[in-house]
Structure 1
Amino acid sequence: MPAAAITIELSSPQTVDGRPATYQSLWLLVRMLHAHAAGQPVRIDDLRGQVSAARTQRMLVSRAFRDFKAWGLVAGWGEDRQRDPRFLNAERRSQGPFWLPEAQAQRLLLLVEGQAATLAERAAFLGLPAPLARAGAGPGAAPGTAPDAVHLQDAGFWQQLVAAQQAMRQGRWATQLTAGGAPASASALQAMRRAAQLAGSDFQRALVTLNEALLWRRIGDDAQARRRVQALGRQRLARHVAGHDYLGAMAAIVSAWCDYTARDLPAARAQLQSIARDPAQGALLAHHPQVRFEWSNLWALACRSQALGSAAEAPVQAAAQAEESLQHFGRALAAAFESHSFDAAQHVAANMGMAVWLFERVGLQAGVDGARPRAIQWIAFSEWLSGQAELQGRSAWNAIYLLRIARGACQPPPRPTLAQFRALAPLTPATLAREAGPLAEVFRGADWPDDWVQVATQRLAEHRSGARRYPGLQYCGLLLEQAWFAAHAGALAVAAQALAALREALPQLVASDRAYFREVWNDGLPAELLALEPPPRRPRGG
């Protein structure tokens, strides 16, 4: 005998079979029915921003399944939707995804004020755009429609995905930025969530997950980036979606970036090598410009780090790695232009410029004339590209690199006095602008005042006001440079404030990056400033 129907009233106050129902539990049930009509489960990410925050998801799921049991309904969880829900392991239930067996879905009768709910009303209850409700194979859908077929809502999905990617390029990552009092545009994260709501196929859902991973990596939250890569892996494992090899290659690159950021160079290189050795992904590396750019740029950075780290002990090997680094930067730049991405090109141009200067500093480019002007010209080219692409969210690296180069020739004694420190002669903005040659004009705009303290201060003010947002390492870099140049100008109060802010921000960095700031703070700043802001202690043996 078939189980009895379950009558659900969606209008307030919501009820199930005439009894009051918890809104969150009912929302999840209706969302599962909606996904069932489209042949899909409900992912844990579908709950975020709708009825839960990350910290409340486990509690919400537990409460919902208790309510389902009270309503006489059996729901399932996990990737295998053919399992009998009665025999699933409840300890893993909170991880999702969630789904309804066909027999249970057939029992649900949705009403709005006593009348059968329309697709638009179901979507309105869920907070989803109405076109998404028309995309499934439920009542009113065209018979025989495949889950991956092109639907009307696809235009809305691609619009939101493009909006998210454009917001990423402009630096509107997780928060809305404002300028001049104008209404704020949606952040990348907001647009990505809208795209996720509109996704009508496995590929679209997987593409959103990949872009979320790229977004979190760009923000500097590697823990979130790794979680999205893991979610993408589960999506790809559950079904062989379109673009499978591309998604796999890009996921591996994001993981390699996270390893590189954690300064685990062997792990980063191993990830990249696995892409090159895989037959399908290796073909993408040869023929897909975005994959080739990401791979070559990161490989070049890894080679750069290895070359700098081994320059003193193994100069011959380090020189070869330095040359390999520059070759791959060149390949990455070509790939960026092949894909018409000024954003990608400006990043690699800046990386190449800093590599040229750093290699010369440790003697790996000793036979090359004019290393510093070449470095500055590459950085100027990066800045010019940012202007051409109108990248409002351009990174702070170009400024940080020039500030480091400007003080690069200064060699103060350990713990110098303020008089000794102020006797140093860092290069002026005008000097570096002249060395940019034909690109000198890019350093003469409003973003480049003729004072290094103001260059750093201006960017920090933009960050704090929300006009731009810089990830942790860039923010710390600006603070250190502001402190150094303010101390050189004799403005110890400004320098001390910068170091106090740096002290608060350092814990978010990986140990190797913290070590760099700690060493400059301990050994490269005047004693009078250290009396105001004592440096962090070195680890034992450090």
Structure 2
Amino acid sequence: MTEAPDLIEIELSAPYRVKGEAARGQSVWLLARLWHAQQFGDGAVSAAALRLGFPGQNNIRMLISRAFADFARWGVQAGWGAARGRPIATLPLNGRSRGPFWLTADMASRLRFRAAGVEVERDWLEHFLGLPREKPESPAGDLSYLMRDMRFWQQMAQAIRDEYDGFGRRPSRQVAESFHVARQFAGDDFQQALALMKESLALRRSAQLDGSRSALKRLDRVLDAGSVHHAHPTFAAMACIVKAWERYSQGDADAARTALEHLQTSPELQPVFRYNPRVRFECLNLLALLHKHAATSGAGAARQRDEAGAALQALSGALEAAYEADSIDAAQHVAANIGWCLWLFWQQGLVDPEREQRVGAVQLQAMRWLGLSEWICDRFGYGSGSAWNLIFILRIARGNCPPPRSRSLSAFRAQQPLALEDAIAALQPLHASLSPAKGFSRWSSAAVLALDEQLAGNAAFPPLQQANLLLEAAWFLLHEQGAGREAADALSRLQALLPSLRRGERSFFNSELQRLPIEAPLTDIRPEK
């Protein structure tokens, strides 16, 4: 008669212990997560889910190696990879950290998880693991939900309409405040979280990042209650995207990627990504920006080309998803991103390295995409009052003008940026985005008009957009008119604005200023320390 294998006792209350001996907390957590997946999930834990469990852990590979060493010492056999039917002893160690990770049913049956000596229930374990918990169902025929005050839904409808009406183009917090008002009438966690998520997004889109982070922190507290995710997977997916945007805005690209990877691989959320075009757009659009960041980060030519290709592929998918979702606002966002990325990657040799496309052809095609975005903004009232499309159009127009060998003003003015007339002709039937009414009598006048609107209080561009407009105005004024008073004024305003920017942003502008002709009226440019 074969003896039954010994049970393995795991204590989840601090200090963690396995078989009566002190144990590493991360290894205990991973073992509990694997057991939960085997008992209640699809049987496996993805590497993305593991990274989400340890957001501050930079070296996940080391964590996995230590955990598997601990498992071996405890007598636990855990597997990895897609071939769950293979004997664990035959699995290749190479690539183990890529997951997914799993336990066999026999192995899981030997594990006993306790807290303070008492075997834990599923709800307690899911709280320990930080997993969303099931929301109890209301009894059939319960009218309490439908008998509530309807002011939340009224205010939410008003806020959404405000957004559609283009209130985000105004220099105010109006859209975010509309969602804030709706939140005051929230009657449950879902309503509270929905209003907070939309408020955070509206604040981020209007460059009010501190307010966006504050709303997101409140959203996290609501989501920690665990009553929203399972009942509303689409909402949970959007909340995941909001958090990814927050990580991206803080410069933590790896954490943002991890959140999006979780969205695309989680058994609960992956169907939402696949079948909900709005979620798919939001995910792919941000993923494209993350690929763009990696493509321009100087990580090596081969990887940068791969990242650039991945960015354009993600943008293509985002464009299709935007139209599938009937979202005009999403369409204008992704069109602008396509236009700028197409030019940026081509200019840096990350796409079309053999230069099968002429510079003028790429310039005009990139402008067409930006023209589509601007046409949508003008026609339907979207855009949130941003100057980025104008900035990108101006930068692309002079993108065929590398700094001349001589820094003389005459050599600078001898360069030939894209002719405005050629751009207008190429943008038909979207040429209204380059109309004289928007300042396009000359390239410089478009930037000057936007800056005048800022001074008049008709626009509220964040400092970074102002700085970019001033740079483009100065470049084209120097090119068109020479080192005159208008160019001097733009350069003076730009240099006065630089201290309000982040260090990396200041470095970019100082580098650009040093490429201007020596006759350009500049004060001393001090290198960043």
Same fold (TM over 0.5): yes
TM-score by length of structure 1 reads 0.64
CA shift, 1:293, in A, is 1.0
Task: Output the CA distance in 1 between the equivalents of 2:166 and 2:503.
Answer: 27
In the alignment, structure 1 residue 296 sits paired with structure 2 residue 291: no
Q: Among 325, 336, 353, which residue is 1:339 paired with? A: 325
CA shift, 1:234, in A, is 0.3
Task: Output the CA distance in 2 between the equivalents of 1:518 and 1:251.
Answer: 38
Task: Output the CA distance in 2 between the equivalents of 1:295 and 1:478.
Answer: 29
Q: Among 253, 261, 266, which residue is 2:249 paired with? A: 261
In the alignment, structure 1 residue 404 sits paired with structure 2 residue 415: no
Task: Output the CA distance in 2 between the equivalents of 1:444 and 1:152.
Answer: 46
Relative to structure 1, the CA distance from residue 379 to residue 147 in structure 2 (aligned partners, 3 Å threshold; closer, same or farther) is same
Q: Among 365, 372, 375, which residue is 2:352 paired with? A: 365
Secondary structure (helix, strand or coil) at the match of 1:309 reads coil
Give the conservation status (yes or no) of the 8 Å contact 2:439–2:447: no
Task: Output the CA distance in 2 between the equivalents of 1:207 and 1:414.
Answer: 56
Paired AA for residue 485 in structure 2 = A
- The count of corresponding residues between Structure 1 and Structure 2 is 381
Give the conservation status (yes or no) of the 8 Å contact 1:168–1:188: no
Secondary structure (helix, strand or coil) at the match of 1:468 reads coil
Paired AA for residue 194 in structure 2 = L
Paired AA for residue 191 in structure 2 = Q
CA shift, 1:289, in A, is 2.0
Task: Output the CA distance in 1 between the equivalents of 2:268 and 2:284.
Answer: 17
Matched with 2:156 is 158
Matched with 2:508 is 516
Relative to structure 1, the CA distance from residue 515 to residue 415 in structure 2 (aligned partners, 3 Å threshold; closer, same or farther) is farther
CA shift, 1:371, in A, is 2.3
Secondary structure (helix, strand or coil) at the match of 1:355 reads helix
Query: Which deviates more from structure 2 when the two are superposed, residues 166-175 or residues 431-440?
Result: 166-175
Matched with 1:503 is 495
Q: Deviations over 1:419-456 (max 9, x none)?
A: 33222222232122233354335423511422112101
Task: Output the CA distance in 2 between the equivalents of 1:274 and 1:268.
Answer: 10
CA shift, 1:351, in A, is 0.8
Task: Output the CA distance in 2 between the equivalents of 1:464 and 1:200.
Answer: 43
In the alignment, structure 1 residue 423 sits paired with structure 2 residue 409: no
Paired AA for residue 310 in structure 2 = E
Q: Deviations over 1:248-293 (max 9, x none)?
A: 3333323322333344332322222222222222222112222211
Give the conservation status (yes or no) of the 8 Å contact 2:165–2:381: no
Task: Output the CA distance in 2 between the equivalents of 1:392 and 1:320.
Answer: 30
Q: Deviations over 1:323-371 (max 9, x none)?
A: 2111110111111112222111111111111111112112222344232
Task: Output the CA distance in 2 between the equivalents of 1:152 and 1:256.
Answer: 32
- Share of identical aligned residues, percent? 34
Q: Among 529, 533, 538, which residue is 2:523 paired with? A: 533
Task: Output the CA distance in 2 between the equivalents of 1:492 and 1:263.
Answer: 39
Give the conservation status (yes or no) of the 8 Å contact 2:166–2:383: no
Q: Among 176, 181, 205, which residue is 1:218 paired with? A: 205
Give the conservation status (yes or no) of the 8 Å contact 2:180–2:199: no
CA shift, 1:300, in A, is 0.9
Give the conservation status (yes or no) of the 8 Å contact 1:400–1:478: yes
Relative to structure 1, the CA distance from residue 161 to residue 394 in structure 2 (aligned partners, 3 Å threshold; closer, same or farther) is same
Segments of 5+ residues of structure 2 without an aligned counterpart are 1-141
Task: Output the CA distance in 2 between the equivalents of 1:492 and 1:254.
Answer: 46
Query: Which deviates more from structure 2 when the two are superposed, residues 321-330 or residues 465-474?
Result: 465-474
Give the conservation status (yes or no) of the 8 Å contact 1:303–1:324: yes
Task: Output the CA distance in 2 between the equivalents of 1:330 and 1:361.
Answer: 19
Q: Deviations over 1:350-406 (max 9, x none)?
A: 111111111211222234423223212211221222233233745222211111011
Task: Output the CA distance in 1 between the equivalents of 2:405 and 2:152.
Answer: 62
Q: Deviations over 1:171-202 (max 9, x none)?
A: 13635xxxxxxxxxxx2133223222333333
In the alignment, structure 1 residue 192 sits paired with structure 2 residue 183: no
Task: Output the CA distance in 2 between the equivalents of 1:360 and 1:271.
Answer: 29
Relative to structure 1, the CA distance from residue 481 to residue 258 in structure 2 (aligned partners, 3 Å threshold; closer, same or farther) is farther
Paired AA for residue 397 in structure 2 = A
Secondary structure (helix, strand or coil) at the match of 2:194 reads helix
Secondary structure (helix, strand or coil) at the match of 1:528 reads coil
Give the conservation status (yes or no) of the 8 Å contact 1:147–1:200: no
Relative to structure 1, the CA distance from residue 306 to residue 463 in structure 2 (aligned partners, 3 Å threshold; closer, same or farther) is same
Secondary structure (helix, strand or coil) at the match of 1:426 reads coil
Secondary structure (helix, strand or coil) at the match of 2:184 reads helix
Task: Output the CA distance in 2 between the equivalents of 1:315 and 1:392.
Answer: 34
